[in-house]
Structure 1
């Protein structure tokens, strides 16, 4: 295998049994020269803002971001206020990763997602203005604010240089992201996981269309990507370790099921076998019998360290500018060590 070289590498933290491990992994990633730590927040698990606040106090250089929060549950003023504070605590290392959430979770907490693209456009536009310390009045289709601004009378009153990254899976969200980058609102896309590298090709096409529509180029769009990693010297054990997560997300997140490339009929069978959301461990184990090794390996970087590095390189060849690694096993530090060897930074 020709040795790959990654310009940047990050990690993604989420759902460790002991929250102290997540803090420790952020510190370890920084010590090994990795570039970013992203905190998951797509389900009702740990609140990313709280954990990221802890990261700001135990690290000095690594970038910190939610991967991703959503554009509904925190109003625009609160989001700008939160990241203004985190930016101060981190010494200017924050990024705002933000997505349009997903059903059925959004519906269950009373969120109307009928116009997620419009919501994303309006929300990010207003947050950017607030970061720039503008006084904002905005009348939109999903968002209305009047005469608001960050009230920084007694704190650092300089604009907040917090780049916004749009969590995108489908082609329309990629195109909208390109447009937001092109008009100076966003810094890039946070490409999703549990999809094959080939899925990036359409995303890249749509990003290019969007950014060029606003007079920019694809080089203006930063493209970190969440990538699920299951690493073990025993290749089969690595694949088996990833099967449950793949099953759960194919069966319960429609955008993942569509993007994963699974046969639609089989995807419907997996969803039916899982039953109502949220699935139990028993549901996932039962439905996993429908998800074979090929499906798992298509959407997860699974296998030996050499297998995993090679598969992550496939994502970078397809457009990713920074792999953000989610280790499905407990060997997070080993994954960091392996990729630190190939991190050009």
Structure 2
């Protein structure tokens, strides 16, 4: 088995903070995560939650060292040039700690807004390549999946290079991220999915130009950790519903998820009936798409995941008690890796 570690020789610890709570609460969680040893904090993006870039600005004020940025924003709801500008602003506010998490977005959420998710791979690739040019101070004219004419930014981000992490699940997006991005956020929590994804990433890395920076693969894993197993699993229902709603057929097949059950979740999401969607989540879906349980259980799952990736982003829901979950997740990561907190 390949030993996946960051350039420091130890797995990277990341965390996803969901702006379903006021910005000050999320900023406090970022500060706690920093104290607990996390290195990257992503503010997730869904139209029904608070704006991730606004929340990132509060996170920047509340922290000193942790890298932070939107994750994962999509270039459909917001023009790519605006995403580049917003991320550059976070880099300025944080004294060069920004990261850019970008992906194609949830098909079910985009459908609520009447947005068709066309040419997702090309649009994501063009988005971060244009963003890189803008961050380098270039004036950009681009005609592709989106249009930009003589676009430039009126600010100079302090980072020499803002790292781009692509949210990916399908084979083509995984391979593209390994070939062109700085990192990948693999939308998976189960070793079976991560092993398959690692194979796709290896194909992309074989085509990666020699002059590119080292590439980092992170499992962007739904995690729910608590002192009580049942409470942890119950809290996992909402994020698992969204994962199931966007899961491709081969992913469902890999875990033998009942198609009718998955369709019921997806249809409820598209109709905007979140309670119905969450209620339709089955135990098998939680097992497949979330690392849920006590600190001990989660540590064991983290260790298995780290056989295939360079680090883990502890994703939503974290757990029924957020502050407790951040501390438990840190303890679980410490047990699963070589690091002591």
Deviation at 1:88, TM superposition (A): 0.9
| Residues 92 and 157 in structure 2, CA contact (< 8 A), matched pair in contact too | no
Q: Match of 2:323, SS?
A: helix
**1:170-227 CA distance string (max 9 Å, x none):** 11110111221xxxxx21111114x422112222222221222233599932112222
Counterpart check, 1:302 vs 2:292: yes
Q: Match of 1:236, SS?
A: helix
Q: Match of 1:112, SS?
A: coil
Deviation at 1:169, TM superposition (A): 0.9
Query: What's the Cα RMSD here?
Result: 2.9
Structure of greater Rg: 1
Counterpart check, 1:313 vs 2:303: yes
Deviation at 1:61, TM superposition (A): 0.7
Which of 258, 262, 267 pairs up with 2:251?
Answer: 258
Deviation at 1:32, TM superposition (A): 2.3
Q: Match of 1:208, SS?
A: helix
Which of 185, 204, 209 pairs up with 1:210?
Answer: 204
Alignment of 1:1-345 (within 5 A): 7-140=11-144, 142-152=145-155, 156=156, 161-180=161-180, 186-193=181-188, 195-216=189-210, 220-247=214-241, 249-250=243-244, 252-255=245-248, 258=251, 261-268=255-262, 270-271=264-265, 274=268, 276-282=270-276, 284-285=278-279, 287-288=280-281, 291-292=282-283, 294-341=284-331, 342=334, 343-344=339-340
**1:86-145 CA distance string (max 9 Å, x none):** 1111000000000111323324424332211111122211111111112222333x1333
Please report the TM-score for the alignment, with normalisation by the length of structure 1: 0.83
Q: 1:197 to 1:217 in 2, by over 3 A?
A: farther
- Distance of 1:283 and 1:80 partners within structure 2: 33
Deviation at 1:302, TM superposition (A): 1.6
Q: 1:158 to 1:40 in 2, by over 3 A?
A: closer
Gaps of 5+ in 1: 181-185
- Distance of 2:65 and 2:173 partners within structure 1: 31
Q: 1:16 to 1:53 in 2, by over 3 A?
A: same
47-56 vs 256-265, which deviates more? 256-265
| Residues 169 and 191 in structure 1, CA contact (< 8 A), matched pair in contact too | yes
- Distance of 1:86 and 1:67 partners within structure 2: 13
Q: 1:46 to 1:339 in 2, by over 3 A?
A: same
Deviation at 1:81, TM superposition (A): 1.7
Q: Extract structure 1 runs of 4+ deviating beyond 6 A.
A: none
- Distance of 1:203 and 1:223 partners within structure 2: 10
Deviation at 1:304, TM superposition (A): 1.6
Q: 1:230 to 1:324 in 2, by over 3 A?
A: closer
- Distance of 1:17 and 1:88 partners within structure 2: 24
| Residues 165 and 188 in structure 1, CA contact (< 8 A), matched pair in contact too | yes
- Distance of 1:93 and 1:325 partners within structure 2: 20
Q: Tell me the number of residue pairs that the alignment of Structure 1 and Structure 2 aligns.
A: 326
- Distance of 2:213 and 2:150 partners within structure 1: 35
**1:8-56 CA distance string (max 9 Å, x none):** 2122111544443211111111122221211111342111011001111
Q: 1:183: which partner in 2?
A: none
Q: 1:279 to 1:249 in 2, by over 3 A?
A: farther
Deviation at 1:275, TM superposition (A): 7.0
Q: 1:159 to 1:314 in 2, by over 3 A?
A: closer
Deviation at 1:231, TM superposition (A): 2.1
262-271 vs 70-79, which deviates more? 262-271
Q: 1:279 to 1:220 in 2, by over 3 A?
A: same
